[in-house]
Structure 1
Amino acid sequence: MTRAALFDVDGTLVDTNYLHVVSWWEAFRQAGHTVPTTAVHQAIGLGSGDLVEHLLGPDRDREQDARISAVHSALYATYFERLAPLEGAADLLRTLSARGWTVVLATSATGFELTSLRAALGADDAIADTASADDVDEGKPAPEPIRHAMELAGASSGETVYVGDSVWDMKAATSASVAAVGLLSGGIPRADLERAGAVEVYSGPADLLSRLDTGVIARIGAAA
């Protein structure tokens, strides 16, 4: 039996969510839009195009979309060399890998951004594969990213757990019939994650690592 542990990266393994919030806020401001940072925060986890659509709506000037996304990317890139992993993140991945789990990252990040995230995380030895936004037609909350990551791992939904920090992560996993584990490290309230489908919620990677022998990960592991 294959056991797959799929992970979001931003806000789940690396402490980046608020850096994204500030970068998006400034990108919108430069384009003439006043978007509250709370609204931006709640949208983090969506792919760039979906995030702009979610925050500005279908009646926006779509000719601005590419420029807004480009400004966000440029601003966020200034943080690449300073990105920091969340406490326990690398140890969590290594422990799961050592226990026979296939670890796959499922993230909207691509290119040098993804390279920088992996460098900050420092756990490439435990990561079997990566499913990025470039690999699917629809990003989270659609189930496609989770299904693609499962295919890479060679696992069924019953053999898989997905760990993320946003409501979009929880909805995507639930739509793919995968057990969704939420982390509070991205700043989203527990109640919001549970309403979106989280079967368990932990404070962060270190908390989940300390409780691997209980909960849904232990149950899937015991069935192997």
Structure 2
Amino acid sequence: MRTPDTAVVDVDGTLVDTNYHHALAWYRAFRRFDQTLPVWRLHRAIGMGGDQLVTAVAGARFEDEYGDDVRKAWSAEFEPMLREVRPLGGVRELLAELRGRGLAVVLASSGAPEHVETYLDLFDGRELADAWTTSEDVERTKPGPDLIAVAVERVGGRSAVVIGDSVWDFEAAPRAGHPGYAIRTGGFSTEELRAAGACGVFDALPDLHQALDEILR
């Protein structure tokens, strides 16, 4: 592998603490359509984009009948929770260090554009990142590789390192041809993240920050 010139950094669950908010919003959204799914099961799917999550947890038939409607309901349920979202510790320091080492930093979110805009305001993302993505930039989100490929292309990168928090990030990263490193803030275990393809797993962003010499060599 060539020395990375780009850092592709997931947002939800990696830079901002949203995974459990999303799980609850999806639970409430499905309940609107008389579908009660265990919250733990919904949590296991967080990190997928909404275009893939509905089929994954409720099946293709439910997607065909209610997919677009349940995604609209999820957005309505999640919207009031936005004011509760906070950045995770060490976000600014990590992004500043990545740029200081000469990497282009792309925030690879499959979230709704209005949500991503809110997140950027929480940690000075517009100043600390070179570019970012939203759900409008790809037809298929993670675990497909499209989002990561678009993120790298956006800054003219050739070799990237991917940072994320869910197993879906590390199914997507190798498909896009890049190594990935995980933090456990999404609620997945070290074993699950490694089995999904993560090259290394860290408890939190500051721990990954301290390991950059090894990751970027």
**TM bracket, shorter-chain basis:** over 0.9
User: TM-score w.r.t. structure 2 length?
Assistant: 0.94
Deviation at 1:59, TM superposition (A): 2.4
What SS does the corresponding residue of 2:61 show, helix, strand or coil? Answer: coil
Deviation at 1:136, TM superposition (A): 1.6
Q: State the alpha-carbon separation in 2 of the partners of residues 61 and 88 from structure 1.
A: 38
Q: State the alpha-carbon separation in 1 of the partners of residues 96 and 63 from structure 2.
A: 45
Residue deviations 1:158-197 (CA, integer Å, cap 9, x gap): x210001111100100111101111101101111111111
Contact 2:113-2:136 within 8 A present in 1 as well: no
Counterpart for residue 17 of structure 2? 15
Counterpart for residue 186 of structure 2? 186
Deviation at 1:123, TM superposition (A): 3.1
Deviation at 1:122, TM superposition (A): 2.3
2:94 is equivalent to residue 92 of structure 1: yes
Contact 2:51-2:141 within 8 A present in 1 as well: no
What SS does the corresponding residue of 2:191 show, helix, strand or coil? Answer: helix
Contact 1:46-1:168 within 8 A present in 2 as well: yes
CA-atom RMSD in angstroms: 1.4
1:35-114 to 2 correspondence within 5 Å? Answer: 35-60=37-62, 62-114=64-116
Name structure 2 gaps, 5 residues minimum.
none
What SS does the corresponding residue of 1:12 show, helix, strand or coil? Answer: coil
Q: State the alpha-carbon separation in 2 of the partners of residues 61 and 97 from structure 1.
A: 41
Deviation at 1:61, TM superposition (A): 6.0
What SS does the corresponding residue of 1:161 show, helix, strand or coil? Answer: strand
2:173 is equivalent to residue 173 of structure 1: yes
Residue deviations 1:14-71 (CA, integer Å, cap 9, x gap): 0000000111011111211111111101100111121111111112262322221111
Contact 1:161-1:179 within 8 A present in 2 as well: yes
Contact 2:161-2:178 within 8 A present in 1 as well: yes
Q: Report sequence identity in percent.
A: 34
Deviation >6 Å, runs of 4+: none
User: TM-score w.r.t. structure 1 length?
Assistant: 0.91
Q: State the alpha-carbon separation in 2 of the partners of residues 2 and 167 from structure 1.
A: 22
Contact 2:106-2:151 within 8 A present in 1 as well: yes
Counterpart for residue 222 of structure 1? none
